[in-house]
Amino acid sequence: MEYVRLGKSGLKVSRISLGCWNFGSPNPPWGKAGKVTPEDSIQIIHAAIDMGINLIDNANRYTGGEAEEILGKAIKGKRDEVIVATKVHGEVGPGPNDKGQSRAHIMKEVENSLRRLGTDYIDLYQAHNVDWDTPLEESLRAYDDLIRQGKVRYIGCSNFPAWVLAKSLWVSDVNKLASFVSVQPNYSLTNRAVEKELQPLCVDQGIGMILYSPMGGGILSGKYEGSVPEGSRGADEPAVAEKAQRFQNGVNQLKDIAEQLDKTPAQVSLNWIINRPAVSSAIMGVSRLEQLQENVGAVDWKLSEEHMKLLSDAFPA
């Protein structure tokens, strides 16, 4: 496994990381539905650690908190081998303060995440989204306090537009508060929106990008050719199946390159994305262990400049 610094921080993260969004039962009261049983999830997490993956991404609301409990069980006795990243923001209850980036919600939710994860510190605590109702200084002071208390080691954000991230860095700077070291955007060959503003900001400011949906929901595995496979995400989410059709020409180019290199389309698409500027790690969402085993084959080699360009042209920004 290859490791790089998370932005300009000293923390070394694996180029491929593991996401817990899929882990847990399908009908939680809050948060997204899961797909993988707790037993299979733990097997996948252990296999990921054995493959050298050290960064594992979670959120307080994934499968209503079950995903954090599963990760907590899986890392018992292995805590030091793992960089635990989790998030706070999304709705976790019916009350007016059961969501967002207020000091009240952050302070309450960090305790819930620590309990579910069975640990006394979170390596990377991320603001899951922008809270337009809370001043950035209030949230950043709360995060800074958590770092001083030893409950959190680094902070990051997710789904922040470039200007909000730039403002956050400025607020931290002028108030001498801890700064975000990373941002977690949606970025893949099928979604290159970050290239306009967020990515150049990250390059300039030394912010590490940790990518979600790096395979466009699975489209870049090439499995949607002609039909929607049973049990796939596209079978549950019509938008994924529709997107697969829209990107069919690009996927054909991806398959050609994969064949030339004796790699799979998934591996080639992931190699393209991890070699883009400012990218530290791409988070794998997997529904089966074999997918993870295939996807780690994206690391420890590099596409030529020519292939990088062919792919960039085949999936226009």
Of 266 and 311, nearer to ligand NAP (C-beta) is 266
Of 113 and 213, nearer to ligand NAP (C-beta) is 213
For residue 140, how far is the Cα from the chain centroid? 21
**Least CB distance from residue 175 to ligand NAP, whole Å?**
26
Cα three-residue angle 11-299-42, rounded to 5 degrees: 70
**Least CB distance from residue 154 to ligand NAP, whole Å?**
16
**Least CB distance from residue 174 to ligand NAP, whole Å?**
27
Q: Is 132 exposed, middle or buried (0-12, 13-18, 19+ CB in 10 A)?
A: exposed
Of 145 and 192, nearer to ligand NAP (C-beta) is 192
**First CA to last CA distance, the chain:** 29
Dihedral angle, C-alpha 19, 33, 66, 215, nearest 10 °: 0
Which residues are at the interface with ligand NAP (CB under 6 A)? 19-22, 57, 128, 158-159, 184, 212-218, 221, 223, 232-233, 266, 283, 285-287, 291, 294-295
Neighbours of 256 (CB within 10 A): 14
Of 131 and 294, nearer to ligand NAP (C-beta) is 294
Q: Is 299 exposed, middle or buried (0-12, 13-18, 19+ CB in 10 A)?
A: buried
Exactly one of 3, 62, 187, 224 is catalytic; name it: 62
Of 68 and 294, nearer to ligand NAP (C-beta) is 294
**Least CB distance from residue 134 to ligand NAP, whole Å?**
18
**Least CB distance from residue 170 to ligand NAP, whole Å?**
23
Extended beta strands in 135-179, E state: 152-158
CB neighbour burial string for 268-286, b if at least 16 within 10 angstroms, e if fewer: bbbbbbbebebbbbbbbbb
Active site residue 62: yes
Distance CA 122, CA 117 (A): 9
**Catalytic residue ranges:** 62
